[in-house]
Amino acid sequence: MKQFQSGVTLISLLIGLLISMLCLIAVLSAYRTLVKTSVDARISASHDTKLQTGLTTAQMYVQNAGFGLDGSNHVALQSIKLNEHDTNAVLWRMRTGNKPVCQGLADIESADKKKRQLVLLASSLNDSANGCVGSSSLNTMQWKVKTVLAHLEDVSSDHSNPVQISFSSTVGHCSPYGAVTEKDTAQHPLILMNAKTSTQNHANLDNLTVPVCLVNILS
């Protein structure tokens, strides 16, 4: 009489082990995706928060341009030499007390070349030949980083760490809070701070633009 083996065979054990490993791989893959999404979301949220805070602070600094001074040559968009690199910056001059003060804004690369920094610039006052002078051209001065307003993550898709904040200018009827009446015919310089958010590449969004009206200067 022929007898058949009963119970668990080696083949069934191997099949069960294979199914268990496939389930484990699926769970680990889902966990990895979840963790990566959470980390990316945290980095993006942190980046955009720092960006908004930095732009708000920068806006308050730029509005000082031309304060206490006559004329219209107290703000300029220039390429300057900073840390041995050519950097595009917005530069301005104002008066505090009895002396002029020169400041600026720029987006520069961090020391480790992995992030960007929105920085407040100051003229090298210790250099009498290139310090802040009320009538000199702003791009002929020597500049240095005074403080960092925002540390920005590299949110580019290719991780090339490109410039995230650029500056442009125009002229028009404006005020810091938009309170312009029909009788107000004066024109002022308008500095536009154009920034890239963390979701711009993914959602195909336009640049974030922050306009700053320089009411101390007439154009």
Collapsing DSSP to helix, strand or coil, 180 comes out as coil
Residue 133: per-residue pLDDT: 75
With beta carbons less than 8 A apart as the criterion, state whether 78 and 89 touch: yes
User: Would you write out the chain's pLDDT as a tens digit for each of its 219 residues?
Assistant: 555 555 567 777 778 788 888 888 888 887 777 766 666 677 777 888 899 999 999 999 999 998 888 888 889 999 988 877 889 999 999 988 888 889 999 999 988 888 899 999 998 764 555 568 766 788 788 889 999 999 998 888 788 888 999 999 999 888 776 666 666 677 889 999 999 888 776 666 778 899 999 988 887
CA 212 to chain CA mean position, Å:
16
Number of domains the chain is built from: 1
Residue 207 falls inside a structural domain: yes
Residue 218 falls inside a structural domain: no
Residue 47 falls inside a structural domain: no
Residue 116 falls inside a structural domain: yes
Cα–Cα nearest to 202, from 157, 154, 152: 157
- Domain limits at 207? 65-213
With beta carbons less than 8 A apart as the criterion, state whether 174 and 190 touch: yes
Instruction: Give the C-alpha distances (Å, rounded to integers) separating 132 from 97, 122, 217.
Output: 14, 9, 18
Residue 116: per-residue pLDDT: 92
The residue length of the chain stands at: 219
Residue 171 falls inside a structural domain: yes
Residue 139: per-residue pLDDT: 78
Residue 20 falls inside a structural domain: no
Residue 90 falls inside a structural domain: yes
Handedness of CA 51, 53, 57, 60 (dihedral sign): positive
Q: Model-level pTM?
A: 0.76
Residue 22 falls inside a structural domain: no
Residue 205: per-residue pLDDT: 72
In whole angstroms, give the CA distance from residue 26 to residue 188.
61
